[in-house]
Amino acid sequence: MEPETHHATTDELEQQLVDDEKLIGRLRARQAAIVAALDTRQVALSDGCRTLSEWVASRADMSMHTARKLVGTSRRMVDRPDVHQELGSGRITYERAQQIAKLAPDLDHEIYGVDQLRRLVARQTELLATDEAAAFEARYLHLQPSLDYTSWKLWGQLAGIDGAIVQDALFARADQLPAESKAGSRAAASADALVAICQDTQTTGTAATNGAADQAGQIAKEPSVTVFVNATEAGPTIGTIAAGPIIGRRTLEEILCVGTVEAIAVTADGKPLSAGRRTATIPPRLRKFIIGRDDGCSAAGCTSRYRLQVHHRQHWADGGPTDAANLVTLCWYHHHVIIHQRGFSIDLQSPPNRLRFVAPPARAPDHLAA
């Protein structure tokens, strides 16, 4: 409803402005409580989003900046119920609550303006502890594959400053899972980041770091896979990466999106019948067209442009065609982690440029089953 402004006095308009800001604060307090409850239910993890902020942005139609602020404030208010109570009662505004939730509880915040509080927060966050360097000569790194090469173990030790460099690089690369969503979530994100950094070293040029490799014509070094098909059954079967380990169906489906495939038919005793023609699953020109058409990751709420990749809506292995109508652009996290590693699928009822994901049946949480 439009406010009556023509006949209102200046004092009345001022009071209405103040009252409306308090109303916004009360609504934000309610949203913060809702977000906190959703956080404990791990909705982002369940719905294939990288972070809770991404989930909130896609569901509430917010900018990522606004969603991050709301999620951050919600989490801080869990430890500062006094701030949440004041915000909910309308005694303080939402912007003031955002700042005082980051400061000591005994601070007399009323003597400061919101911008002054923001500067106080900035000064506190600039006070970073320094780390003493460990003995350089003690550094090492070991990599050990399992007997069948289906997994690897890595362990080692670095000097203090070198460890900080590696940590910063991993955290910068990591497409974050929901914070504290489950035990080991930080470790899983770091593992994903390490793989991504290693993939970057196999990319010609530097464009892959900003997600523009395909658009610039600089395509990453792609895996090549040989699929061994039983000549009598011709069904889903095993494959191997060139001179490497056996891979399963999910990994094969991912390589069919980003790599090349060669089919070899074999008899029951393993003898080859014929060698298939080695072909690029998605031609480079079509790949560039799809990335240009979608202009970024098509997952709802996602703003990442890191290692944009083209994905088959209906998997190639399931008969999906390699044409523009069946192809979509996803960032590395949603393509590699969400779809091909965790087994999510695209919700075909979601808008083309705001894709949502459907969890595999075994992972579907209780709140989605109803």
| Pairwise CA distance, residues 106 & 263, whole Å | 69
pLDDT for residue 276: 40
User: Which own/partner pairs from 69-75 qualify as long-range (CB within 8 Å, at least 24 positions apart)?
Assistant: 69/98, 70/28, 70/31, 70/32, 70/35, 71/35, 71/39, 72/98, 73/28, 73/32, 73/97, 73/98, 73/101, 74/31, 74/32, 74/33, 74/35, 74/36, 74/39, 75/36, 75/39, 75/179
Computed on alpha carbons and rounded to an integer, the radius of gyration of the chain in Å comes to 26
- What is d(CA 322, CA 300) in angstroms, rounded to the nearest whole number? 23
Query: What is the reported pLDDT for 231?
Result: 43
pLDDT on residue 258: 58
Mind spelling out the 3-state secondary structure of 143-154? EEECCCCCCEEE
- H or E element: which one contains 57? helix 52-60
| Below-50 pLDDT ranges, the chain | 126-135, 176-183, 204-220, 231-235, 242-243, 271-280, 366-370
Q: Is the CB of residue 355 less than 8 Å from the CB of residue 347?
A: yes
Whole-angstrom distance, CA of residue 263 vs CA of residue 225: 9
* The pLDDT of residue 193: 81
For residue 216, what are the β-bridge partners?
Answer: none
Is pTM beyond 0.85 here? Answer: no
Q: What is the pLDDT of residues 110-166, one digit of tens each?
A: 888 888 888 888 777 544 333 344 446 777 888 888 887 778 889 888 876 677 788
CB atoms within 10 A of CB 288: 16
